[in-house]
Chain A
Amino acid sequence: MADVATRPAAPPDFSKVSLGALRRYYVGEFAASAANNLAYRGAVAIWVVTTVIQPMVSIVVWRTVAGPGGEVSGFNASEFVTYFAVTMLVEHLTFIWLMWEFEWRIRTGAMSPLLLRPIHPIHKDVCENLSYKLIGLVGVLPAMVLLVIGFGGDVSGIGVVQVLTFLPALVLAMAVRFLLEWVLALSAFWVTKTSALNNLYFALFLFLSGSFAPLAVLPEAVRTLAYVSPFPWIVSFPVELALGRRTGAEVWVGYLAQVGWVLVALVLLRVVWRRAVRVYSAVGS
């Protein structure tokens, strides 16, 4: 970040923020948004309830498809239950809502004060996102256990090793998805109504990430398409690690793919952000 801006209308320059200042900023911002989320814990609780509904419906549907004693592409009914219960945890910890919020930020001019700060706005979003997710865990973790118990999930494949390989994959998945969807959110700088674009993205995400069904269940062509996209590394890969369905070299290939996508997303973020702030014209300016 050595290119100090010299032109009058140059993009904001955040290179002067030192690591120490950044650390202090994170502590403060995180505390502030955690306090905010705790104050509106009712709203957080309601969002957590909505998080449970989709995996619950998926469990019911796929359990019915598998039938008692039956199997679909290596998943029996109780393995589907565990798959979608863990998927719920991964979904909760990786999802971000900013692609819906950016449209509002731009339209109302709420973006302007964020751009005037001497720090990249992504840091504020990271803090808000993390604090929401941590507080939401209080509801999501028990819900996951309840889903597994209530629908009779099979947890025999989950052990210490599986959890330990799952955790780094989860953190990398959070990074990949946050960065990619933050870049997607930047589309609001060009397009005033982003709902169609967002819906298209979520439709792709649903099938290619493994949220709708385990990738093994999908048709061959869709699975091939999925593996050239970043999506399986966001949901399917960590979930299958937790279930003990990926072992040996597959684990390392997966980590590498995740790191690769983080790097790609970082480059994208840098390129798109620079262009985005150049086309920004605030409401009222």
Chain B
Amino acid sequence: MTGGRVGADWTSGPRVAPGEGGLAGLVRHDLRILRTYLSLGVLNLVQYRSDFVLSVVNAVITLATQVLGLSVIFSRTTDLAGWGVYDLLVLIGVHFLIGGVLGLVVRPSMEAMMEGIRLGTFDFTLVKPADSQLLASVQVVRPQALVDVLVGLGVVVFGVTRVQASLSVVDVVLSLLTLLCGLVVVYSFILALSTMAFWFVRLDNVLVIFQSLFGEAGRWPVTIFPGWLRIVLTFAVPVAFAVTVPSEALTGRLSLTSALSAAGLALLFFAASRWFWFFALRRYTGASA
């Protein structure tokens, strides 16, 4: 199957490059695509080195602002709805980490996809012989965001060593699992939002709302929000599962129900967004039509 197939075949799901078969070949093919885009991103970064320095400076400013904010708050109280200062530091670290991964590949790719739909260049992505969702999701890599990932990791490690609760191996595994689930939930949510660009061409501003909710509300444990807002932040705009649940795991306050529902929700969000993606593609007529 070479490229160039158009029409209903766009929607027939992942296809394998010539000479390969089975699930293993499929995964290998997908990983190769991922690796190619990652190295392209690194090449771009090496070209604009000062951007990297700039993102280090920006990460430091953001971190300093948030730590200063925490110190102001904790000069007036000893805990925020049961979260101590180092618990919140862990949460800030997780927030940095997730935000970094989103900024590394998800957001830039989705922006590029929506721009492509608007300009008509997205058709070229569709005719490539690979999973269209994967191609659309990894097409742009911004390695500068790695700075946020690293800062986040550092803050998490620092915070965890200061938190009273000691972590067992199970806790660590659960933390990593919930982090992964959180990432999947947020990725699926952003994908579903961006997929709507097939109908409403100008959607970049909707991502701005998500970005703002994630940036402002995501930096706090979802438990401090009153009832209806907590529900919105948990299910409608799933910031809670991305940041609060992994932080609960890292600070030893995660219940098994939260962990299981995080996993369940991640699967649900992923399946739903993938279904929505192909549903949208079936209705997509291309820019020239």
Contact = CB atoms under 8 A, between A and B. Distances in A.
Nearest to B64: A203
Interface string B223-260: 01110010000000000000000000000000000000
Interface of A: 42-43, 46-47, 49-50, 53-54, 56-57, 60-61, 64-65, 72-73, 151, 193, 195-196, 199-200, 203, 206-207, 212-213, 217-219, 222
A203 B226 CA distance: 28
Contact of B54 (A56, A73, A195, A212): A195
Interface residues of B, number: 33
Contacts of A222: 72
A56 B216 CA distance: 9
Given A42-B205, A49-B212, 10 more contacts: A46-B206, A47-B208, A53-B216, A56-B229, A57-B216, A60-B226, A60-B229, A61-B73, A193-B51, A203-B65
Given A72-B76, A217-B72, A219-B75, A199 B62 contact: yes
Contacts of A60: 220, 224-226, 229
B57 A53 contact: no
A196 B61 contact: yes
Interface string B197-221: 0000010011011001100110110
Contacts of A53: 209, 212-213, 216-217
Nearest to B48: A193
A201 to B, nearest CB: 10
Contacts of B64: 203
A236 to B, nearest CB: 14
A64 B79 CA distance: 9
A50 B208 contact: yes
A246 B216 CA distance: 30
Contacts of A199: 58, 61-62
A60 B233 CA distance: 13
Nearest to B229: A60
Contact of A195 (B58, B65, B208): B58
